[in-house]
A and B are shown apart, each in its own frame.
Chain A
Amino acid sequence: EPEVTQTPSHQVTQMGQEVILRCVPISNHLYFYWYRQILGQKVEFLVSFYNNEISEKSEIFDDQFSVERPDGSNFTLKIRSTKLEDSAMYFCASISNLWTGKAGANVLTFGAGSRLTVL
């Protein structure tokens, strides 16, 4: 079964450092997402991406965050200058089409996550 692949599975970094989290979505999917989960808290939407641009972002997704699809297969999340509060599990997800409004609508496929620890 097709999978969404995320690397690294765990990254430890110093505060202020740049971090890039990588995702390889399912090959025929068109919509891409990043979510995050701070330990003990809810899984939160960060950003959605379609047709090489951000389609929606949350208030969490400030100027320190950016996303890119550099080569048609990878989908990256960059944090320019990490803060302690960026420590979380980051999930990538993809979907082939948006919901059609019909029963049996498509659903997101999530990756296993990248755990980021900022010291």
Chain B
Amino acid sequence: AQSVTQLGSHVSVSEGALVLLRCNYSSSVPPYLFWYVQYPNQGLQLLLKYTTGATLVKGINGFEAEFKKSETSFHLTKPSAHMSDAAEYFCAVSDNPSQGGSEKLVFGKGTKLTVNP
């Protein structure tokens, strides 16, 4: 069965500092991996995704994530935090349906990012 672990339910950084949100997954087949962001009172918005190909994936708002199969990780980073990045971030995995998996997403618990001025 798939699972996602996000280390740290709360992360606090200063404006301009590096953002690192950790995500580890388990999956029985090659996974699809996603990061979603949720701003207050809004829906889940896709930040970036990894399906196949290049393991370093760039997303919106300057975020990127690297798929590391050997570490079963998909950590999210941004070189310089902005106040507008304050939100909750969710890592998710789905099994590759073309290899017998399911399209449904399995989410982590989320990490709330606070950006201090």
Q: Which residues of A contact B (CB under 8 A)?
A: 4, 6, 9, 31, 33, 35, 40-45, 48, 56, 91, 93, 95, 98-105, 107-108, 110-113
Contact = CB atoms under 8 A, between A and B. Distances in A.
22 contacts: A6-B43, A31-B103, A35-B105, A42-B109, A45-B104, A56-B104, A95-B103, A99-B51, A99-B98, A101-B96, A101-B97, A101-B98, A101-B99, A103-B52, A104-B51, A105-B32, A107-B34, A107-B49, A108-B46, A110-B36, A111-B43, A112-B43
Interface in B1-57: 4, 32, 34, 36, 41-46, 49, 51-53
A105 B94 CA distance: 12
B108 to A, nearest CB: 6
A39 B51 CA distance: 30
A31 to B, nearest CB: 8
Interface of B: 4, 32, 34, 36, 41-46, 49, 51-53, 90, 92, 94, 96-99, 102-110
Nearest to A31: B103
Given A44-B107, A103-B53, A107-B46, A56 B41 contact: no
A98 B32 CA distance: 13
